[in-house]
Structure 1
Amino acid sequence: MNTQNPTEALEGTCFHCGLMLTKQNIIHADIQDESHDFCCTGCAQVCAIIHDSGLDSFYKFAPESRDWNTPEQAPEDAKLFDSLELQADFVRQFPDGTYQADLLIEGIHCPACVWLIEQALQHMDAVTFADVSLTRRRLRLRWKPDEMLLSEAILVMGKLGYQAIPYQEDLEQKANKARRQDLLFRMAFAGFVFANVMTAAVCLYGGSFFGIADEWRAVFEWYSMVLTFAGIAYSGRTFFIGAWKSIKAVKPNMDLPISIGISTSFLWSSYVTIFNPDTVEHHVYFDSVSMFVFLILVGRFLESSARETAGSTTRHLLALLPRAARLIHDNGDEELIPLRSVKQGDILRIKPGDRVPVDGEVLDGYSEVDESIISGESRPLIKKQGSQVVGGTQNISGQLKIKATHLGHESVLSQIVELVEQAQDSKVKIQGVADKIVPWFVTIILALSAVTFLYWFNQADFATATMTAVTVLIITCPCALGLATPMAISIGAGLGGKLGVLIKRGSALEQLLHLNHIVFDKTGTLTHGQLTVVHQQVLVKDESQLWSQVHALEQASEHPLAQAIVSALEPFPTDKNLSKFNNIAGRGVEGSFNGSLLHVGSLGWLLSEGIVLTDEISKQLQHEEQQGHTLVVIFNDKELLAWVALGDELRDESSSVIRALQSQGVIVSLLTGDRKASAQAIAAQLDTLEPIQVIAEVLPGEKADKIKALQTQGFHVGMVGDGVNDAPALTQADVGIAMGQATDVSAHAADVVLLGGLNKLPTAFSLSTQTMKTIKQNLALSLGYNILVIPLAMGGMIHPLFAAIAMPVSSLLVIGNALLIHKRVKG
């Protein structure tokens, strides 16, 4: 390659980036024995690299108008990304020895950029996988670390003009926020234009009524034309970009008829305004154009808002981990260090109330850990030497010393994150009915408009033919067709919020209608998710004194079971004679009352003390456990004095909701991580039309697998849950439904959130039914309108003024029908 400065200005554009060439920036370069002009040496170098690498097909994919910036040089600090400590945050190691990294790519503009990056990386022998997401601008790269450093791939992309940095969730959120803000600005400007143009339209069409002189007509028309052009240029440019892409891909989408409607209406109105021909009747349609741009942008803004919340699940999941951990050094000293500094094999101390920072093995200590966010088990689990603990869970009573065993991508919580992402990626995106009709609709309308022009050109003159053909395009502009689906979904989703049914993804309104199998989580969904005293039995005469002593002991404890017992014993005053209180981790509490020692704790603790129970008492306690209840026993050094049974009670509406679903032919299953006996006991308490299937003792990762198994059997599955462990299953299901008191994670993973409680589930189904019925009605209205007016317009029987009025009226009919959803659905 050789370069030289030009001695005189040349016309044309840069061969690589498409920028206009000026006297100051023309560079000549020989690429594979052919001379080309470039705007800078950077473009010339990149072009040479592309051709030398055999990637010259890039220019077949690149758009004709290449508005990307001049390529930048490779980052000088690329070598920093080879640091193992830095890679710990964004690089994952696989069993086959390969590494995988997610990188955020700056400079991606089009599918050609995606193709170029993937091809360039896949040509590297050490790269086993390279996939670029155009919408997220994210590269997922897998390579062999013993054959290549990560910096080598980053440098290759840098030479091509793309900056690669480690992917971080907040960077993607910033990019999404910027795109949504741009859409908001364009929508607001379109609204401003629409309001002002409509004001001018009132003066144009009602000038004589308001006493406005005819000579002002031209002023209002020019005013409307300039404003409308500004609105199209700024607010409506994305329609034309999308239409051009659909034409190149030979796959017409909604942007194509939108662009045709906007451009034909505007160009004809501008022609009439500027040239004021005497051969045609004087009518302009700037008000219709501005209204159309504004309404479509409103719908797209609402859709964008829904999509933005869909990608925040993993961020809320990882927020469960603490930011720091207590590291125990070899000399016994403790130090609070950042979580990212914890290494495999480090010894950590977990104090009562702390969240476990990493997955690990208990080396010393005895405590109870609340793992409900991971396992779904409502009762705390005992942890002692040799037990495994999971990052993100809550330590309750005693201290634990653990050894870190699984960090980063290998942890249970990270695996749940991975399951959520996989389920989200595997979901099939619905395609609206309108999108399937539009390609045929557009082709037919264009053909009919052309036929109309040819007919009237032969029968009358050019002006009449043009006016009639444009009238066909204007009156058949697919405003109503484009608004039929998004408007109904927007109204339905808004109404759902008022009725206690939060619709987080519009597609859920369609998919709810097709569900034929509903899977319920147990804890916190069918039940209240809170242990309460369901039965208590005293075996001594002085019941009041005993319960006062138990009240005093449990009030001094911070255990969740103790809090439930304290609530039940509120009528009994606390005994003030408590002394020598002792909290024994994993067993219970004890204290002395006037020299007599009293124990309150687990049945296992009582049996370990050698206290013998009668056969009758043993049968009673065994019956309570079979009912899924948790037992707390009260005893002294000699005998059992009393016992309390605690359970997670069913919601009052659980049975009625399930009966309502079964009456509609929906199959209902119960899915839980609890023990089988507890789950079956809950199922037996439900008053249902048919027995429900019980799937118990399911691990977190298995819940999504159970949902997937049902889907492979042909079922359309809805999942109702409220815990973190339900998040993968919620995303795997055709529709994920979370309870209103659900954790942030499950609420973000779900498609629907029942803010008003479980009894709002039938409301969600009713909302789905009415919304989909309204969409079908809207499509019928819009298509029926077009079928009616097209023959009239082709026959020259419709006045252009009527066309301008009819087009927004058809949209208003669709909007008005969508608003009727409020009357059709009752909460």
Structure 2
Amino acid sequence: MNKKIASVPNEEVSFSSDFVACRPGDGGCDELDERLSHSWLRVGIAAVFAGQGMALSLALSMTPPEFGTGAYWILHGGLAFSALAVMLFLGGPLFRATFAMARERRLSIEGLFCLSLLGAFFGSLAGSLTGSGSVYYEVVSIVVAIYTVGRMLGERSQARALTERDRLRERFDQAEVRRDSKWEWVGLEAISPGDRVRVGPGTAFAVDGQVLSGEGYVRETAMTGEPLPVVRRVGDWVKAGTWSMDGDFEVAVSASTGARELDVILQKVGSFGGRPSEMQALANRLIAWFLPVVAGTSGLTALYWALAAGWVDAVLNSMAVLLVACPCALGLATPVAVWQSLFRLAKLGLVSRDGALVDALAETQHIFFDKTGTLSEGVFRVTEFWLDPHWRERRQELCDTIYGVEARLEHPVARSLVAYLEENCPDGGAACEGLRLVPGKGVAANTSIGRIQIGECDLCPEIDPMAAQLQLRETSGKRVYVFLEGRLVALAVLQERLREGISGLLRELNELGVEVSVLTGDSNPEISLPENVTLKAGCSAEEKEQVVRAAVQAGARPLVVGDGINDVSAMSAAVASISMRSGAPLAQSAAAAVVTDDRIACLPGAILLSRSTRQRLRGNLYYA
């Protein structure tokens, strides 16, 4: 087998949401899409029958035919058939859930919906057969539709998260292992701790282990949050899910299949949604006594009217109790209000299919942000460019040369330099020859002005850059050195750029009484934050999760906002989570919401909206 795991060391390419894969044995993506298509097809067919029933109901209300006539039976028969069709196409999951509830001797929202449906249908059927009382067949369609659509949206989100999890696992399921004095590609199940794995430039690490030989840049942003590639050499540890940018490595495997840090993170994906929100808990408590009271009242009503006036009045009045009592704030008004809030959140820039997000936003007292790619844009900009005084008159020539070299690279530092220089290099920079990557240090090339080297200071260890550094205004940031024929001629300072409006966002959250913390895997974050914002640097995925779980135990109802694979564990521990649109597809699928266009400044408005919605819903629930 000769398979390359990832040919481009770039998370945006390697984790593209346009690529979809499914786990072997699960039937593939075609089967998943077919199941989802069939579900929505059933909803569409049911909607046709529901629309027909509502049209017939309107006709019945405007010009009611005389009981027993042909028109009467056609209209009432059509209404009853429409209601039965909706129950046939969509009611199966509701009835199965209600049966499971009864078998387990517990009370749930499914029982409430089922009582609503049965009360509406059988009460209407009794009215149709006897010619007395009103009919409410259309309520059947409404009740079933609300339950089914909400359930399907939740299942769709969960299915997408699991699909992304399996797709990501498959991206790192093989490695090139030394077997009998030769290298061959094998599956992870054939790899054991102690085996030697080879990883070349532009290839992903599929194992956790220690570097035995080789040196080079490794991009770890998705797994650790480090914004720039880091140098890994002999003795250093590397993780599955990271990329070799320019080095050839041999790695001694330290973890067996299923025990990689990546596997531990992926296992968290199936645990989302395990904690009920405050409103869900309140609704469950109300249902615990409300449902038996309604059912008991309906039974007593049937008994009374059976003795007082006969079975017809008994059925009509008992079903009327179910019809009037059950489609209330618990069963109908609450889902509709939550969907309306989700629509308004989407207009603010926060897209979600999970109604629990409204509760989470309203209840949260502590928000944890990732840094790289969340508060920051995940890219660096040149904030200062020092030039040797001897080259100031030839600045354009030197800049053209630097641009010509860096434009041929995909390294994040190269892209930052190109973005800074491109306005001054309309012709695409000067030509270069013999371009050579120096693993873990930078790049070298032959140009018309001489041999140029761009990258780390130790490209020319004999040169002391201190004199140039003392002339810089910036005291922090990533330094990029430019040597020409062994002489330092330029020095660029790169700094991480925060998203627009972050200062205002943090201030508004503080005014709303929400505590803010930043958890980053970056071991040396160089960003400026307000004093009331806690910054914890160098966090692993496990450490982020532990911090969030501690906040949960303290009752802070924490919310996590992130974008990387290393944020998924913390997301699983929080009450709810939000992903950036530019984040890894796994994070997007696992989160309760996605920030469109990465407009993270919408959070304060979303919290205010959710608090208002919760206040109204709480009043409706108590009133009901």
Task: Give the structure-1-normalised TM-score.
Answer: 0.64
Instruction: Report what 1:370 is aligned to.
Output: 219
CA shift digits 1:742-772 (9 cap, x unpaired): 1112212222211132112223323422432
Instruction: Report what 1:538 is aligned to.
Output: 387
Closer/same/farther in 2, CA of residues 638 and 245 from structure 1, 3 Å limit = closer
Query: Could you tell me how far 1:376 is from its partner in structure 2?
Result: 0.8
Query: Greater shift after overlay, 491-500 or 528-537?
Result: 491-500
Instruction: Report what 2:538 is aligned to.
Output: 697
Instruction: Report what 1:646 is aligned to.
Output: 494
Amino acid in structure 2 at the alignment position of 1:438: I
Pair 1:219-2:79 in alignment: no
Pair 1:194-2:50 in alignment: yes
Match of 2:553 among 712, 716, 723: 712
Instruction: Report what 1:771 is aligned to.
Output: 613
Does the 8 Å contact 1:453/1:466 carry over to 2? Answer: yes
Instruction: Report what 1:725 is aligned to.
Output: 566
Q: Any idea what SS the aligned residue of 2:258 has?
A: helix
Query: Could you tell me how far 1:450 is from its partner in structure 2?
Result: 4.9
Does the 8 Å contact 2:206/2:241 carry over to 1? Answer: yes
Alignment of 1:328-343 (within 5 A): 328-331=178-181, 333-338=182-187, 340-343=189-192
Closer/same/farther in 2, CA of residues 602 and 217 from structure 1, 3 Å limit = same
Q: 2: CA distance between counterparts of 1:416 and 1:462? A: 61
Does the 8 Å contact 2:208/2:240 carry over to 1? Answer: yes
Q: Which of the pair has the greater relative contact order for Cα pairs under 8 Å at 6+ separation?
A: 2
Instruction: Report what 1:123 is aligned to.
Output: none
Instruction: Report what 2:287 is aligned to.
Output: 438
Amino acid in structure 2 at the alignment position of 1:682: I
Alignment of 1:312-711 (within 5 A): 312=163, 314-321=165-172, 324-331=174-181, 333-338=182-187, 340-421=189-270, 424=272, 427-428=275-276, 431=280, 433-452=282-301, 467-478=316-327, 480-543=329-392, 544=395, 545-570=397-422, 571-572=424-425, 576=430, 578-593=432-447, 596-606=450-460, 608-609=461-462, 611-613=463-465, 617-620=468-471, 624=474, 627=476, 629-636=477-484, 639-675=487-523, 678-679=524-525, 681-683=526-528, 686=529, 688=530, 690-711=531-552
Closer/same/farther in 2, CA of residues 635 and 775 from structure 1, 3 Å limit = same
Closer/same/farther in 2, CA of residues 224 and 604 from structure 1, 3 Å limit = same
Instruction: Report what 1:263 is aligned to.
Output: 118
Q: Any idea what SS the aligned residue of 2:390 has?
A: coil
State how many pairs are aligned.
595
Closer/same/farther in 2, CA of residues 427 and 603 from structure 1, 3 Å limit = farther
Q: 1: CA distance between counterparts of 2:622 and 2:273? A: 33
Q: 1: CA distance between counterparts of 2:613 and 2:163? A: 27
Does the 8 Å contact 1:292/1:479 carry over to 2? Answer: no
Amino acid in structure 2 at the alignment position of 1:644: A
Closer/same/farther in 2, CA of residues 477 and 731 from structure 1, 3 Å limit = closer
Q: 2: CA distance between counterparts of 1:391 and 1:632? A: 28
CA shift digits 1:79-113 (9 cap, x unpaired): xxxxxxxxxxxxxxxxxxxxxxxxxxxxxxxxxxx
Query: Could you tell me how far 1:657 is from its partner in structure 2?
Result: 0.5
Q: 1: CA distance between counterparts of 2:250 and 2:99? A: 63
Instruction: Report what 1:789 is aligned to.
Output: none
Instruction: Report what 1:301 is aligned to.
Output: 152
Amino acid in structure 2 at the alignment position of 1:674: D
Instruction: Report what 1:253 is aligned to.
Output: 108
Closer/same/farther in 2, CA of residues 214 and 398 from structure 1, 3 Å limit = same
- Rg (Cα) greater in structure: 1
Q: 2: CA distance between counterparts of 1:424 and 1:776? A: 25
CA shift digits 1:426-476 (9 cap, x unpaired): 645663543332343333334444555566677767655654444334333
Does the 8 Å contact 2:113/2:327 carry over to 1? Answer: yes
Q: 2: CA distance between counterparts of 1:761 and 1:382? A: 36
Closer/same/farther in 2, CA of residues 772 and 316 from structure 1, 3 Å limit = farther
Q: 1: CA distance between counterparts of 2:503 and 2:350? A: 19
Where do 5+ consecutive residues of structure 2 fail to align?
1-22
Query: Greater shift after overlay, 355-364 or 721-730?
Result: 355-364
Q: Any idea what SS the aligned residue of 1:493 has?
A: helix
Does the 8 Å contact 1:317/1:413 carry over to 2? Answer: no
Q: Any idea what SS the aligned residue of 1:406 has?
A: coil
Q: 2: CA distance between counterparts of 1:592 and 1:465? A: 97
Instruction: Report what 1:205 is aligned to.
Output: 61
Instruction: Report what 2:8 is aligned to.
Output: none
Amino acid in structure 2 at the alignment position of 1:206: M
Identity in percent: 26
Q: Any idea what SS the aligned residue of 1:549 has?
A: helix
Closer/same/farther in 2, CA of residues 644 and 770 from structure 1, 3 Å limit = same
CA shift digits 1:160-203 (9 cap, x unpaired): xxxxxxx9783699998787677546544543432333333334
Q: Please report the RMSD computed on the Cα atoms of aligned residues, expressed in angstroms.
A: 3.6
Closer/same/farther in 2, CA of residues 540 and 578 from structure 1, 3 Å limit = farther
CA shift digits 1:363-394 (9 cap, x unpaired): 33222111111111112121223332222211
Does the 8 Å contact 2:403/2:430 carry over to 1? Answer: no
Does the 8 Å contact 2:126/2:316 carry over to 1? Answer: no
Closer/same/farther in 2, CA of residues 524 and 212 from structure 1, 3 Å limit = same
Task: Give the structure-2-normalised TM-score.
Answer: 0.83
Closer/same/farther in 2, CA of residues 605 and 250 from structure 1, 3 Å limit = same
Q: 2: CA distance between counterparts of 1:425 and 1:288? A: 30
Query: Could you tell me how far 1:510 is from its partner in structure 2?
Result: 0.3
Instruction: Report what 1:70 is aligned to.
Output: none
Query: Could you tell me how far 1:529 is from its partner in structure 2?
Result: 0.5
Query: Could you tell me how far 1:581 is from its partner in structure 2?
Result: 4.2
CA shift digits 1:279-336 (9 cap, x unpaired): xx36444344444434443343334334433444532442442x543344554x5444
Closer/same/farther in 2, CA of residues 434 and 528 from structure 1, 3 Å limit = same
Q: Any idea what SS the aligned residue of 1:682 has?
A: coil
Pair 1:286-2:142 in alignment: no
Query: Could you tell me how far 1:560 is from its partner in structure 2?
Result: 2.5
Q: 1: CA distance between counterparts of 2:557 and 2:128? A: 56
Amino acid in structure 1 at the alignment position of 2:459: W
Query: Greater shift after overlay, 186-195 or 175-184?
Result: 175-184
Match of 1:170 among 9, 14, 26: 26
Q: 1: CA distance between counterparts of 2:306 and 2:235? A: 91
Closer/same/farther in 2, CA of residues 471 and 485 from structure 1, 3 Å limit = closer
Amino acid in structure 2 at the alignment position of 1:546: L
